[in-house]
C-alpha cells in the first residue's frame, strides 16, 4: 500500500497529494508519469508527476476531478493509501540527456495550461537545479484556477501568468503571451507545452509559424501503461506511437492533435454515466 502523507485542495476540483513511494521517488525523472489505483476494483489512472523527493521517498501528484475515479481519489485523506502506485513510467524528457553546457546555451520557454502546470513544474525545477532559468507561462481560465504560482516563481527565470477572463495579471490565452514575448524581441530555441490537447494544438500551430521547436506531453486514455494494450495510441509524423512507452513527450509539430481529441471523446458517455452513478 502507498500511504498518502498530504492531501490538499489547490483550486476548485484540483487536488495535490504527497504519496509515500520510495522506489518510485528514487528513480523518477522529469517528464515521467505514474499509474495509480485506489483499490482492487479501481480504474488505473495515469498522472504526470508534479514533484518527487528521493530522500524523503515521496512523490507529489496533482489531479483534477473529471470522472468517477478522480472524484473517488479526492475523497481520500492523509493517512489513507493507494493500493497501486506504479512508476515511474514513460520516457524522461529528452533534453535532460543533453550536455549540460549545451543546454545552458538554449533559451527555453515552458507553456503550462491549467492542470498542465503540475507536470511543467518538475522540468523547470530540474533546469533551475542545474543552473538554467527558463521562461514560463502559466494560463488558467480564471484567477482561482491558477495553481503552483509561488512554487513556479521560485524556479523560473521569468514567470508570466495569464487568465482567459483577465481576472488576474495578463488577460488572454497562453498563446497570446507567446506572441507578445516574441513580438517584444524574445528568442527561444525550445518550447515545451503541456496542458489540454486543444491548447497544445494551438501552441504548436503558433510555434511552427514562429520556427520554435516544440515538445508536448500527451495524456491519452491509458490502460496498462506498458505498451501492451494499444489504448494510448497516437499518430506522430504519420506513424503510430504509444504514449506510455514512446512518450508521453513528442515533437508537437508532428502530432495529429485532431485524432487525439477524437479518441479522447470516445468514452465520454460511459464516463458520464459512471460519474452519475457515483454521485447518486
Q: Are 138 and 166 in contact (CB under 8 A)?
A: no
Among 16, 28, 45, 222, binds ligand FES (CB under 6 A): 222
Judged by CB, which is closer to ligand NAD: 104, or 171?
Answer: 171
In the bound state, the residue with its beta carbon closest to ligand NAD is 114
Nearest-Å Rg of the Cα atoms of the chain is 18
As separate numbers, helices (DSSP H) first and strands (DSSP E) second, the chain gives: 10, 16
Q: How far is the CB of 131 from ligand NAD (least distance, A)?
A: 26
Picking from 26, 31, 65, the residue whose alpha carbon sits closest to that of residue 48 is 31
Is there binding between residue 175 and ligand NAD (CB under 6 A)? yes
> Which residue in the block uniquely carries the three cell numbers 549545451?
102
Residue 174 binds ligand NAD (CB under 6 A): yes
User: Looking at residue 27, what DSSP letter applies?
Assistant: H
- 181 binding ligand FES? (CB under 6 A): no
Contacting residue, 225, 247, 248, 252, with ligand FES by CB under 6 A: 225
CB closer to ligand NAD out of 88 and 116: 116
Using rule CB under 6 A, residue 164 touches ligand NAD: yes
Does 116 bind ligand NAD (CB under 6 A)? Our answer is yes
Q: State yes or no: residue 267 binds ligand FES (CB under 6 A).
A: no
Tell the residue number behind the cell numbers 480564471, with chain if given. 142
CB 99 within 8 A of CB 126: no
Of the chain, the end-to-end C-alpha distance in Å amounts to 29
Query: What 3-state DSSP class applies to 43?
Result: coil
**With binding defined as CB under 6 A, does residue 202 bind ligand NAD?**
yes
Q: Does 242 bind ligand FES (CB under 6 A)?
A: yes
Q: In 10 A of CB 183, how many CB atoms?
A: 9
> Could you list the residues that contact ligand NAD (CB under 6 A)?
48, 64, 113-116, 119, 139-141, 164, 173-175, 194-196, 198-199, 202, 217, 219
Interface with ligand FES (CB under 6 A): 222-225, 227-232, 242, 244
Amino acid at each position: 500500500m502507498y500511504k498518502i502523507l498530504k492531501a490538499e485542495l489547490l483550486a476548485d476540483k484540483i487536488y495535490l497529494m504527497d504519496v509515500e513511494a520510495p522506489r518510485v521517488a528514487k528513480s523518477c525523472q522529469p517528464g515521467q508519469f505514474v499509474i495509480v489505483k485506489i483499490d482492487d476494483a479501481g480504474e488505473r489512472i495515469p498522472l504526470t508527476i508534479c514533484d518527487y523527493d528521493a530522500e524523503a521517498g515521496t512523490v507529489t501528484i496533482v489531479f483534477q476531478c473529471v470522472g468517477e475515479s478522480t472524484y473517488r481519489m479526492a475523497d481520500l485523506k492523509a493517512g489513507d493509501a493507494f493500493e497501486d502506485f506504479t512508476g515511474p513510467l514513460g520516457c524522461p524528457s529528452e533534453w535532460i540527456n543533453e550536455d549540460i553546457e549545451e543546454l545552458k546555451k538554449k533559451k527555453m520557454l515552458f507553456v503550462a495550461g491549467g492542470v498542465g502546470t503540475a507536470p511543467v513544474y518538475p522540468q523547470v525545477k530540474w533546469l533551475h537545479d542545474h543552473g538554467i532559468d527558463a521562461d514560463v507561462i502559466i494560463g488558467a481560465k480564471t484567477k482561482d484556477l491558477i495553481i503552483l504560482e509561488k512554487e513556479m516563481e521560485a524556479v523560473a527565470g521569468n514567470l508570466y501568468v495569464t487568465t482567459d477572463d483577465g481576472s488576474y495579471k495578463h488577460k488572454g490565452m497562453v498563446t497570446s503571451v507567446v506572441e507578445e514575448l516574441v513580438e517584444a524581441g524574445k528568442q527561444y530555441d525550445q518550447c515545451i507545452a503541456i496542458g489540454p490537447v486543444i491548447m497544445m494544438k494551438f501552441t504548436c500551430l503558433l510555434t511552427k509559424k514562429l520556427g520554435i521547436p516544440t515538445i508536448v506531453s500527451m495524456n491519452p486514455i491509458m490502460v496498462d501503461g506498458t505498451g501492451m494494450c494499444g489504448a494510448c495510441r497516437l499518430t506522430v509524423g504519420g506513424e503510430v506511437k504509444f504514449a506510455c512507452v514512446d512518450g508521453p513527450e513528442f515533437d508537437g509539430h508532428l502530432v495529429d492533435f485532431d485524432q487525439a481529441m477524437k479518441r479522447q471523446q470516445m468514452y465520454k458517455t460511459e464516463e458520464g454515466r459512471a460519474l452519475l452513478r457515483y454521485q447518486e
